[in-house]
Amino acid sequence: MLLTSVNQTKQLIVGRSADCQTADPRRPPAAPDCRSSRSSLFPVPSGRIGGSAVTDRRPPASCPTTPEAERAVAAARPPARPSVRPSVRCAMAPLELAMQGLAVFGLVLFLVLWLMHLMSIIYVRLHLHKKRSEVKQPFAQLAGVSLLKPLKGVDPNLISNLETFFTLDYPKYEILLCVQDLDDPAVDVCKKLLGKYPNVDARLFIGGKKVGINPKINNLMPGYEGAKYQLVWICDSGIRVKPDTLTDLTNQMTEKVGLVHGLPYVADRQGFAATLEQVYFGTSHPRSYISANVTGIKCVTGMSCLMRKDVLDQAGGLIAFAQYIAEDYFMAKAIADRGWKFSMATQVALQNSGSYSIGQFQSRMIRWTKLRINMLPGTVLEPVSECFLASLIIGWAAHHVFRWDMMVFFMCHCLAWFIADYIQLTGVQGGPLNFSKLDFAVAWFIRESMAVQIFLSALWDPTISWRTGRYRLRCGGTAEEILDV
């Protein structure tokens, strides 16, 4: 029995040596099998001698235990995964979840912003600057209009702007010129036009009526109380119109419409400050303004608004809005709350102020942002709708989800945004631009760079300087006047 066990052990050793030899001598030697190396470290029984197990502790002949072989075996092994402590893994989970949430937000932001681009571009091409001089219905044909014109001071374009209202081609309307102070130089301008156009139904109201903190409402109160028609057109002093502008407005005032407003834009003027304003009111502003109105959100700027007087009277008249600085927003809200619809004119509300500068434009944007923050809490998300910040967020999301190069995506996204804005600007203009493509590029870049700074400035100081007064805003849109002691 002892001899038989020894023979079996020899046969096992010879068999293993034969298995490790290569079948073809021309084939390059294979890397040592780490399983054979393990078998030499953890031997298995190969027989029994006298009731005890006999094991083979020698490594196979073709798997030498040299340093080179051990390095080859180590290189062939897959890299070991670093162990992560449970506490570190628990701390990383919220961070990973936050990054995934930010990536989803970036992708959704991409879809929303480009949907806004498409809606505004298509709407401008289909709706604005369409010739619709014919009267739609007898109501519009018979309706008289009372034009309320608030005036404060003069600028080089005031008399030419006002004169366009005296030459309107409309059968039945009146002009109610409202000036707060008797010594205001605008009084002489009004008297000059009244003498030049004696056949136009126009009146001058001086002194105003103190009913609240809003100086515009205080100035308009005498004219509003003296209006004799049921359609009231409130139009700022810096607006100029075409002869058929009022016809276009009344055409939009159908049976279910309670307010007709014009998309704010800027007339062609000289200087880079004018170009900057024109770029803003032709790109960023109409994108949000039009997309909001198309989706049913009531967004109205009171530069040029035609409203039903009886509906305003149901809401309390102009005096009910004297506690607000943004009276146009709350007037529109009161009309919408009573079930009336809004309509946008096919002609833009053309601003043609004779006094303009980059500083004035910046102050105006800061004032508007302060009002939106106090009235609409969602305005805190407004910076992510601007090109540069939105492109950074969306570029990071594309890198996180699709592993795309973030900076390449950022540059491509900004370029696409730039092209879309230029297309929209040409649509709002309705004709050739008054400046070159290079001027547009410079003005566009400066305007986009100012966006976040304007928003932060609005957050920093909640007070508003408007006309000759300073006001402190409260939540909900109301305000109180700050009196200098």
- Transcribe 151-204 into DSSP letters: E-S--TTHHHHHHHHHT---SSEEEEEEES-TT-THHHHHHHHHHH-TTS-EEE
Pairing of strands 349-351, 239-240: antiparallel
User: Is residue 297, in this structure, part of any structural domain at all?
Assistant: yes
C-alpha 403/C-alpha 399 separation (Å) is: 4
Q: Name the nearest CA neighbour of 422 among 288, 287, 282, 285.
A: 282
Q: What is the pLDDT averaged over residues 262-283? A: 97
Residues 392-410: tens digit of each pLDDT: 999 999 999 999 999 999 9
Q: Is the pLDDT of residue 128 over 70?
A: yes
Chain mean position to CA 475: 23
Report the greatest alpha carbon distance in the chain.
Answer: 141
Bridge partners of 80?
Answer: none
- Over residues 24-32, the mean pLDDT reads 47
- 79 in a structural domain: no
Residue 152 has pLDDT above 90, yes or no: yes
The tens digit of pLDDT for each residue in 189-227 reads 999 999 999 999 999 999 999 999 999 999 999 999 999
Lowest-confidence range among 35-44, 148-157, 252-261, 371-380? 35-44
- Which of these, 114, 118, 110, lies nearest to 427 by C-alpha position? 118
Strand order across the beta sheet in which 173-179 lies? 202-206, 173-179, 145-151, 231-235, 304-308, 257-261, 341-344
Tokens of 169: 């081609």
Question: Residue 371 — φ and ψ, nearest 5°?
Answer: -65, -45
22-35 average pLDDT score: 46
Judge whether residue 320 has pLDDT over 80.
Answer: yes
472: which strand partners? 463, 480
256-269 pLDDT, tens digit per residue, is 999 999 999 999 99
72: in domain? no
- Adjacent-strand bridge partners of 343: 260
CA distance 390 to 413: 9
Residue 28 covered by a domain: no
Which of the two residues, 90 and 464, has the higher pLDDT score? 464
Mean pLDDT value across residues 451-464: 89
Q: Which two tokens stand for residue 410?
A: 């950022």
Residue type at 179?
A: V
β 341-344/257-261 pair status: parallel
How high is the mean pLDDT of the chain? Answer: 84
Dihedral angle, C-alpha 99, 102, 103, 106, nearest 10 °: -160
Catalytic option among 328, 405, 461, 484: 328
More confident call, 205 vs 71: 205
Q: Which long-range contacts (CB under 8 A, 24 or more apart) does 386-391 make?
A: 386/284, 386/448, 386/451, 386/452, 387/414, 387/417, 387/418, 387/448, 387/451, 388/414, 388/448, 388/449, 388/451, 388/452, 389/451, 389/452, 390/109, 390/113, 391/417
Residue 146 belongs to domain spanning: 115-480
Q: Is 93 helix (H, G, I), strand (E, B) or coil?
A: helix
Q: What per-residue confidence (pLDDT) applies to 477?
A: 78
Q: Give the phi and the psi of residue 102 in degrees, each rounded to 5.
A: -65, -35
Name the pTM for this structure. 0.80
The confidence score (pLDDT) of residue 44 equals 43
333 belongs to a structural domain: yes
Cβ count within 10 A of residue 314: 13
Instruction: Tell me the mean pLDDT in the region 154-175.
Output: 96
Taking each helix axis from N to C terminus, what angle separates 186-196 and 158-166, rounded to the nearest 10 degrees?
Answer: 30
Contact between 176 and 203 (Cβ < 8 Å): yes
> What DSSP letter does each residue of 375-423 carry, written as one string?
H-GGGGGGGGGSHHHHHHHHHHHHHHHH---HHHHHHHHHHHHHHHHHH
343 in Cβ contact with 298 (< 8 Å) = no
Structurally, the chain folds into a number of domains equal to: 1
Which CATH number does the domain housing residue 120 bear?
Answer: 3.90.550.10
Nearest to 313 by CA among 303, 321, 305: 321
Q: Provide the angle, in degrees to the nearest 10, between the axes of the packed helices 272-282 and 284-294.
A: 20
Confidence of residue 40 (pLDDT cuts 50, 70, 90): very low
Does the structure show a pLDDT above 70 at 84?
Answer: no
* Tens-place pLDDT, residues 370-391: 999 888 878 888 999 999 999 9
CB count within 10 Å of CB 350 equals 23
Percent of the chain with pLDDT over 90: 67
CA angle 45, 50, 51 (to 5 degrees): 55
Asked if the structure places residue 27 within a domain, the reply is no
Is 457 inside a domain boundary? yes
Residue 134: inside a domain: yes
Nearest alpha-carbon partner for 186 in 219, 210, 217, 209:
219
The reply to whether 328 belongs to the active site is yes
Our CA dihedral for 313, 315, 317, 318, rounded to 10 degrees, sits at: -150
**pLDDT, position 33:** 47
User: Which of 189, 147, 194 has the alpha carbon at shortest distance from 170?
Assistant: 147
Contacts of 303 (CB under 8 A, 6+ apart): 235, 236, 239, 262, 264, 349, 351
